[in-house]
Structure 1
């Protein structure tokens, strides 16, 4: 009888070589979007070009060795606002000025809650349906902002919600509905992206919250509660991960700080299956907070490969850092990825498409070297 060999860890999500999801927009797509905004091509023509570019992107991801594929967020201007504005009661609007990143200010866009939050027919369900249709036998991964992004980034018109609990209940229900709708279309790998945790990671961020009359620890607990309730009704075979980010706009960042201050909540209080964490430079702190990981089924995806710049990391140094993290979390629970997406907004980071794919292949090759003999 032939001995059955366990499935390699490289082929089970979250994958040993994984990715956060967004990719640099091709020039053709950028031009088409601009032409559509100027009334030079129709929305249908733009959709055709998006479909063609996403189809090519999916093949490039496969060719690079990735085991899951995304649509690169090619249909979005923003990683979060476009999705959140798909809920009934939430609108995009122009703010007075954009948020200040390190050395650059983003566009003055925002979201406003103008009515009760509902989700009866979210337009991005069609986006996933198309992605799955071109993914073939490869796992289609869909990325959406965490519900905390609406709580922390939206403005609220007076009188829409009388109590916080009423708001929380509507937001959780809206997320439960869209998650179920994605599942019904075949989604089995969902990622929640969340930059709101950055406010809890640094002393400056915590001081700002205190100055606003808020308790950072209480707010962090609330953030975990919202996420857990939003995913509480997910089917058993839907894998949900979360990416915690300190900002990613034109290769800049919004904040710094390690995970220690909220390590118990992040590593012990979130009901997700995996965490994509930034660890590409000193801004993210050391691996010691990983000692709080107390679940054998929680996978930690180490973002050791920067997506902000094109220079490739020394693979031996990356392997050494993985070994260091393995002092706190078993190697079989660790994975490797770029620290963030390559284009959280349509502008993208400051590297070329060729450098982007070199980074992806570098991630895959390094992971293969580290986990080749490991079995989950």
Structure 2
């Protein structure tokens, strides 16, 4: 039976100041990689204590070995990719902005220029440290193939390696599935694929953006689901809990304010994702900036929906009572035993900036754990 973690979270935690400073120092050649590793280790151990004292049911390393949650998609791990500036397709609101130290504040923008080959395991160091030091069950997060930006395929350059975007996407999916399979072989108890880009299909305004690019929505969604399931099957082979995280995104340099990026959800597409994706648990945003909980009415039996009620962009700490009210609403559509709690997204929207303080982060996790333990005893 798959383990259900009632007080769940999305993995990413606020990078402490010393880690942000160390990463900047490493980027500018002021410290070596060994010193950066020491700071990462110290910070991860402190993150374990934060999670233990907050009372959550699952541990992560805060993704502290990554500059960004998307860092896995980069030339650091993939031969055939070269990082080139800012991805304005993914982040159009950054056009015309002068961003100091953009390499530390904006995720990599890899362009494929040759056949892809993994240079090294993406998560090997993360898994080894978690296995040796985590105080309890732990998770590893991996960007879903669905997060791969179309800006990574440039006509006139990329077709030398792949005739079409689809050929590139399918090969990248194969390599991601290999990494996920290796994580499962490592004995990781909980493997989570991060796929916020499904909101391109469930939020009407974002669907229109795809249509404007001339993309066939049905074909795109079917391709995404197929790719995701290839990775999910690789993840579950040794009995791990397998999850997919879907949210509206919290990139720190995006539209300001706690509600930036709000939108309704399409009930039909939500039901299709929950039915067709072969995950055990869906960590899905239902904060005040997201769609109605009524869109869960078509959720299939036997799958867990982790309600992303808390907003990691909003410094206000939600109360146990208001979270419970949302749980009660969700339970009209999904049995209580098939629900759990998580924040709407990871706490660190960017490596060197964040919406919240570490104290607010801890208080939100404490409220999340207190509510979960009260509701599910």
Q: Which of the five TM-score ranges fits, normalised by the shorter chain?
A: 0.7 to 0.9
- Matching of residues 76-91 of structure 1 within 5 Å: 76-85=66-75, 86-91=77-82
Residues 304-338 of structure 1 deviation map (CA, whole Å, 9 limit, x = unaligned): 11111222213212111101100100000000111
Which has the higher mean CA deviation after the structures are superposed, 199-208 or 83-92? 83-92
Say whether the 8 Å CA contact 2:205–2:263 is kept in structure 1. no
Say whether the 8 Å CA contact 1:83–1:124 is kept in structure 2. no
In structure 2, C-alpha distance between the alignment counterparts of 1:347 and 1:162, rounded to whole Å: 37
Distance 1:146 1:14, change over 3 A: farther
Question: Match for residue 287 of structure 1?
Answer: 293
In structure 1, C-alpha distance between the alignment counterparts of 2:93 and 2:359, rounded to whole Å: 26
Task: Name structure 1 gaps, 5 residues minimum.
Answer: 1-6
SS of residue matched to 2:148: helix
Residues 30-57 of structure 1 deviation map (CA, whole Å, 9 limit, x = unaligned): 1111221222111111111111111111
Which of 241, 248, 251 matches 1:249? 251
Q: Shift of the alpha carbon at 1:28?
A: 1.0
In structure 2, C-alpha distance between the alignment counterparts of 1:304 and 1:353, rounded to whole Å: 19
Q: Shift of the alpha carbon at 1:151?
A: 4.9
Question: Match for residue 203 of structure 1?
Answer: 204
Distance 1:167 1:96, change over 3 A: closer
Question: Match for residue 175 of structure 2?
Answer: 174
Which has the higher mean CA deviation after the structures are superposed, 114-123 or 323-332? 114-123
Task: Name structure 2 gaps, 5 residues minimum.
Answer: 100-104
Say whether the 8 Å CA contact 2:287–2:311 is kept in structure 1. yes
Question: Match for residue 269 of structure 1?
Answer: 276
Question: Match for residue 189 of structure 1?
Answer: 190
How high is the TM-score relative to the length of structure 1?
0.88
Aligned length: 359
Residues 10-30 of structure 1 deviation map (CA, whole Å, 9 limit, x = unaligned): xx7441111011111111111
Distance 1:122 1:236, change over 3 A: closer
In structure 1, C-alpha distance between the alignment counterparts of 2:362 and 2:107, rounded to whole Å: 30
In structure 2, C-alpha distance between the alignment counterparts of 1:96 and 1:270, rounded to whole Å: 28
SS of residue matched to 2:142: strand
Question: Match for residue 148 of structure 1?
Answer: 146
Do residues 339 (structure 1) and 344 (structure 2) align? yes
In structure 1, C-alpha distance between the alignment counterparts of 2:375 and 2:138, rounded to whole Å: 25
Question: Match for residue 285 of structure 2?
Answer: 278
In structure 1, C-alpha distance between the alignment counterparts of 2:14 and 2:68, rounded to whole Å: 13
Say whether the 8 Å CA contact 1:198–1:256 is kept in structure 2. no
In structure 2, C-alpha distance between the alignment counterparts of 1:165 and 1:309, rounded to whole Å: 38
Report the RMSD for the aligned CA atoms in angstroms: 2.5
SS of residue matched to 1:233: helix
Distance 1:218 1:95, change over 3 A: same
How high is the TM-score relative to the length of structure 2?
0.87
